[in-house]
Amino acid sequence: MGMRYFGTSVQRQEDKKFLMGQGRYVDDIEFVGMLHGAFLRADIAHAKINGIDTSAAREIPGVHAVYTLDDLGDPYPNKPMTTAYASPLLKQTICQHLLAKDEVCFVGQTVALVVAESRHIAEDALSRIVVDYEPLPAVADCRNALDADAPATHLGLDSNLVGNFYGKFGDIDAAFAEASHTFKVDFHEHRGGGHATECRNIIANYDAGKDETTVYLTTQAPFLIRRLMARYFEEDESKIRVICPDVGGGFGPKNGPYAEEFVLAIVSKQLQRPVKWIEDRRENFVATNQQGDQMWHMEIACEDDGKILGARGRVIHDMGAYVPYGLLLPATSVFPLPGPYALPALDVTLDAVFTNKTCTSPVRGAGRPNAAYAMERLIETVARGLKLDPADVRRRNFVRKDQFPYTTGGTLPSGDPAVYDSGDFHSLLDMALENAGYEDFKERQAAARQEGRYLGMGISSCIEDTGFGPYEGVKVKVQPSGKVLLQTGAASQGQGHQTVFSQIVAEELGVDIDSIVYQSADTGTVPHGVATAGSRVTANAGPASQAAARLVRKKALKLAAEVLEIDEDDLEIEDGIVRATAQSGRNVNISLGDLSFKLTPLMNGKVPDGFEPELEATSFTSSTGVPHASGSSVAEVEVDVETGEVKLVNYVIAHDCGKMINPMLVDGQIIGGVVHGIGNALFERMVYDENAQPMSMNYGEYLLPIATEMPPFEVLHQETPSPHNELGVKGAGEGGTIPAANAIIAAIENALEPFGVVVNDHPVDPQRICELLDEAQARSGAA
């Protein structure tokens, strides 16, 4: 049988319900007797709490309960949460209490909960709670957090340092000693929030009969949350069930634990009622993790031709007020630093610091977009300093095709050496440049400048470590009806898991894709999973889907051969029917459904000898190493030098995520990812004042990319199979986002080259571009 599903742009199995308004998100689910919660949140960035008066709130008709931390009862007043990812590098692992104890450390921190008949009433009651705050000095800017006179972000801290993360290999001193040139560059990177269109939502439903709590949750990691809850509550995991219904986007911030789900689980048990909490958008701006700021001070050593010898520097990384997510974000900002380049030596130290701002955790790409931007900034700096074509500087430094597998010298957070499995970075760049019209761009640019129009083109190249382990569980089971049940632990937030894993299973098993019934992300029914994060699901659940389907196929063929009295090798499976091949000369068949029926007999039946019941298999097969996707992007912009406005004219991305299961879905991932990166480059900025009071708390002030501002996107593919799994697949979820910022920023710099403008910091807005133009003019006037 030829490839029917794998590699083809099958329309999504998921779509119809969403198109008809029949998706079921957490807020669409109701239970009899359900109550509604609303959280009172800190409205001051740092303060001591001298008292909380909830008496007036309790008097409002329709209010069932009001909780402060003390009201939750023992042991919670003395039991802060724990970090999801502990690390010996964490010097101060400060995690918050479920509700504030005696201090609030960021605007948005949970202080109290009202549970009422309706959300409206719960909010009525919130405004009647009086908190006696004693304001304390706050740290708003990570760049000042380690200053000698910086305020303590938490009462009693001697230092605001959370911990350090290091990226070191090679002989950095020799690199700088031998270099013909060295350049320094400083840049500030800001990445805002995930801004999934659905906020974080929860229903906790305690069943007293079973002594079991079911939590409907918008999480990317149901099994992680179940484990963290079980540990925190000192319960058996079987007593907690986490279910992800349809989830309206993840993008990282939905991957970790939050106080709210713990509080709701406690409260549902105490009240013996289902309790729903729906995060509203104003809360989302302060209560859901963001990615925050990084300040980079870098130095690079290179030869005359732009060949890089080494890079060193220091990064200050804003952690926010607590560390719910450990050091994963700093880690992913440093270890991927070499990018697609053969970098002989690196020495970077990252200082992760507390501020009095919303907690941080990965947003699409985690620290990788930051690291890619840092490396690409260095490339731009070298090209500018040596007056070289930035494309040539990249070519000169890329890991060559013949160097795979390539060991960078660096180390992954797991402690394993970083090894690039496969790719062809040179051809990817060439492909992108050719389609962007790079060769004759200089002519177009010159002609436009004659008319007073400033066009610019920028390049950005990256790698993406995808598919980190350990596994995602997949179960495939043929039902007596002939339908094939496909279960995965991996939660979907819109990626199209159902379609791609159905494609794999349908292909491997030989069934029609429409005969597959998909279930996922319910810790009560599906095999163990890890998380939908870091572009890891396809490279884990993909191989597991294939392996599980293959085991089922083997079992089916073995049983069919016995039933049909034919050699297994003379059988094939097509559209769910096991039949004799044409070459066998026989004309017999049996359906997979009938085989399933034979393996699941009832009282008067018998399981065939030599077989276990059920036509099913579970697999945790995953990639054997880290598949590295790669890409080169080229952006074209036009800058209005009077207003500073940037128009995105064109964007080409050449991308390699190995074998593509469904090219249409890959394009969707990439383009969506690029747009997120464009947001980071030009639009999205979470503004805080000097007291760490957030200013951007609505979508009129926090600007997300919209349709009219986006350029046409052209996505080109190169398919270099990963040797780490039989499918040859790599992750594709973040490869669009990772390189985007530098492509845009470099394009702006290229457009403004006649003025000598260097942007460096992002996001950059029209006002800043005008300021840079004015500064450049002042410099040239002074010169």
Partner 1 sequence: MKPGRFTYHDPTTIDELTGLLASLEDVKFLAGGQSLMPMLNMRFTQPDHLVDLNGIDGLAGIALNGAALEIGAMTRQATLMKSGEIAEHLPVMQAALHWVGHFQTRYRGTIGGSLCHLDPSAELPLIALLCDAELTVVGPEGERSVAMGDWPLAYMMPNLSEQEILKLISITPWGGHHGFAFEEISRRRGDFAIVGVGCQLAVENGSITKAAIAIGGADQVPYRLSEAEAALIGQPASEETFAAAGEVARQKDAMSDAYITAAYRQRLANVLTKRTLAAAAQRATGE
Partner 2 sequence: MSEQLKDTRDITVTVNGKSYQEAVETRLHLADFLRLQLKLTGTHLGCEHGVCGACTILVDGEAVRSCLMLAVQANGREVTTIEGLADGEELSPIQEAFSEHHALQCGFCTSGMIMSLTAFIEENPGADEAAIREAISGNICRCTGYQSIVAAGVAVAAKQAGGS
Site of interaction with partner 2 (CB under 8 A): 9, 11-12, 14-25, 27-28, 120, 194-198, 246-249, 251, 280-281, 493-496, 664-665, 667-668, 671-676, 698-700, 704-708, 710, 712-713, 736
The pair of structure tokens assigned to 361 is 């955790």
Distance CA(446)–CA(64), nearest Å, equals 70
Q: Residue 683: name its binding partner from partner 1, partner 2, none (Cβ under 5 to 8 Å by kind).
A: partner 1
Q: Which is nearer to partner 1, 448 or 770 (CB)?
A: 770
Go through the chain and tell me how many residues it has. Answer: 783
Q: Which is nearer to partner 1, 284 or 591 (CB)?
A: 284
Q: Residue 222: name its binding partner from partner 1, partner 2, none (Cβ under 5 to 8 Å by kind).
A: none
Q: How far is CA 780 from CA 33, 382, 465, 775, 783, in A?
A: 72, 22, 43, 9, 5
Please state the closest distance from residue 700 (CB atom) to partner 1, in A.
7
Q: Which is nearer to partner 2, 171 or 714 (CB)?
A: 714
The pair of structure tokens assigned to 148 is 């000698």
Q: Which is nearer to partner 1, 707 or 783 (CB)?
A: 707
Q: Which is nearer to partner 2, 249 or 458 (CB)?
A: 249
Q: Which is nearer to partner 1, 309 or 637 (CB)?
A: 637
Q: Residue 25: name its binding partner from partner 2, partner 1, none (Cβ under 5 to 8 Å by kind).
A: partner 2
Please state the closest distance from residue 645 (CB atom) to partner 1, in A.
7
Torsion sign (Cα): 517, 257, 317, 138: positive
Which one, of 106, 102, 109, 83, lies nearest residue 94 by Cα? 83
- For the chain, helix, strand, coil in percent to 5 are 30, 25, 40
Q: Which is nearer to partner 2, 283 or 421 (CB)?
A: 283
Q: Residue 689: name its binding partner from partner 1, partner 2, none (Cβ under 5 to 8 Å by kind).
A: partner 1
Residues contacting 268, CB < 8 A, separation 6+? 204, 205, 206, 213, 274, 275
Q: Which is nearer to partner 1, 127 or 581 (CB)?
A: 127
Which one, of 246, 258, 318, 245, lies nearest residue 284 by Cα? 258
Residue 51 burial (C-beta neighbours within 10 Å; 0-12, 13-18, 19+): exposed
Please state the closest distance from residue 40 (CB atom) to partner 1, in A.
13
Please state the closest distance from residue 292 (CB atom) to partner 1, in A.
18
Please state the closest distance from residue 672 (CB atom) to partner 2, in A.
4
Q: Which is nearer to partner 2, 422 or 680 (CB)?
A: 680
Please state the closest distance from residue 507 (CB atom) to partner 2, in A.
20
Q: Residue 147: name its binding partner from partner 1, partner 2, none (Cβ under 5 to 8 Å by kind).
A: none
Please state the closest distance from residue 769 (CB atom) to partner 1, in A.
10
Q: Which is nearer to partner 2, 364 or 396 (CB)?
A: 364
Please state the closest distance from residue 706 (CB atom) to partner 2, in A.
5
Q: Residue 667: name its binding partner from partner 1, partner 2, none (Cβ under 5 to 8 Å by kind).
A: partner 2
Please state the closest distance from residue 498 (CB atom) to partner 2, in A.
12
The pair of structure tokens assigned to 305 is 């031709």
Can you tell me which residue has the tokens 């007291």? 691
**Which H/E stretch holds residue 111?**
strand 110-116
Please state the closest distance from residue 62 (CB atom) to partner 1, in A.
12
Q: Residue 467: name its binding partner from partner 2, partner 1, none (Cβ under 5 to 8 Å by kind).
A: none
Please state the closest distance from residue 766 (CB atom) to partner 2, in A.
18
Q: Which is nearer to partner 2, 170 or 194 (CB)?
A: 194
By the 8 A CB rule, do 643 and 771 touch? no
Please state the closest distance from residue 271 (CB atom) to partner 1, in A.
21
Q: Residue 371: name its binding partner from partner 2, partner 1, none (Cβ under 5 to 8 Å by kind).
A: none
Q: Residue 643: name its binding partner from partner 1, partner 2, none (Cβ under 5 to 8 Å by kind).
A: partner 1
Residue 561 burial (C-beta neighbours within 10 Å; 0-12, 13-18, 19+): middle
Distance CA(523)–CA(227), nearest Å, equals 10
Q: Residue 687: name its binding partner from partner 2, partner 1, none (Cβ under 5 to 8 Å by kind).
A: partner 1
Q: Residue 534: name its binding partner from partner 2, partner 1, none (Cβ under 5 to 8 Å by kind).
A: none
Q: Which is nearer to partner 2, 313 or 733 (CB)?
A: 733
Please state the closest distance from residue 176 (CB atom) to partner 2, in A.
41
Please state the closest distance from residue 441 (CB atom) to partner 2, in A.
23
Q: Residue 127: name its binding partner from partner 2, partner 1, none (Cβ under 5 to 8 Å by kind).
A: partner 1
Distance CA(448)–CA(432), nearest Å, equals 22
Distance CA(321)–CA(100), nearest Å, equals 13
Radius of gyration of the chain (CA): 28
Q: Which is nearer to partner 2, 134 or 514 (CB)?
A: 514
Can you tell me which residue has the tokens 């490279």? 539
Please state the closest distance from residue 537 (CB atom) to partner 2, in A.
14
Q: Residue 665: name its binding partner from partner 2, partner 1, none (Cβ under 5 to 8 Å by kind).
A: partner 2
Q: Residue 690: name its binding partner from partner 1, partner 2, none (Cβ under 5 to 8 Å by kind).
A: none
> What type of residue is 160?
N
* SS3 (DSSP) at 702: coil
| DSSP conformation letters of 528-589 | ----S-TT-HHHHHHHHHHHHHHHHHHHHHHHHHHHHTS-GGGEEEETTEEEE-GGGT---E
Please state the closest distance from residue 72 (CB atom) to partner 1, in A.
25
The pair of structure tokens assigned to 153 is 């972000």
Q: Which is nearer to partner 2, 246 or 293 (CB)?
A: 246
Q: Which is nearer to partner 2, 97 or 676 (CB)?
A: 676
Binding site for partner 1 (CB under 8 A): 119-120, 123-124, 127, 280-282, 642-645, 683, 687, 689, 695, 698, 700-701, 703, 706, 708-709, 765-767, 770-771
Q: Residue 50: name its binding partner from partner 1, partner 2, none (Cβ under 5 to 8 Å by kind).
A: none
Q: Which is nearer to partner 2, 121 or 331 (CB)?
A: 121
In sequence order, the β-bridge partners of residue 70 are none
Residues contacting 737, CB < 8 A, separation 6+? 364, 365, 369, 673, 674, 676, 677, 680
| Number of other CB atoms surrounding residue 428 within 10 Å | 26
Distance CA(137)–CA(360), nearest Å, equals 21
Please state the closest distance from residue 167 (CB atom) to partner 2, in A.
31
**Which H/E stretch holds residue 459?**
strand 454-465
By the 8 A CB rule, do 704 and 686 touch? no
Q: Residue 767: name its binding partner from partner 1, partner 2, none (Cβ under 5 to 8 Å by kind).
A: partner 1
Q: Residue 674: name its binding partner from partner 2, partner 1, none (Cβ under 5 to 8 Å by kind).
A: partner 2
Q: Which is nearer to partner 2, 336 or 494 (CB)?
A: 494
By the 8 A CB rule, do 112 and 129 touch? yes
> What type of residue is 509?
L
Residues contacting 629, CB < 8 A, separation 6+? 463, 464, 466, 535, 655, 656, 657, 658, 730, 731, 732, 735
In sequence order, the β-bridge partners of residue 461 are 632
- Helix residue ranges per DSSP H, 59-143: 69-72, 119-126
By the 8 A CB rule, do 632 and 432 touch? yes
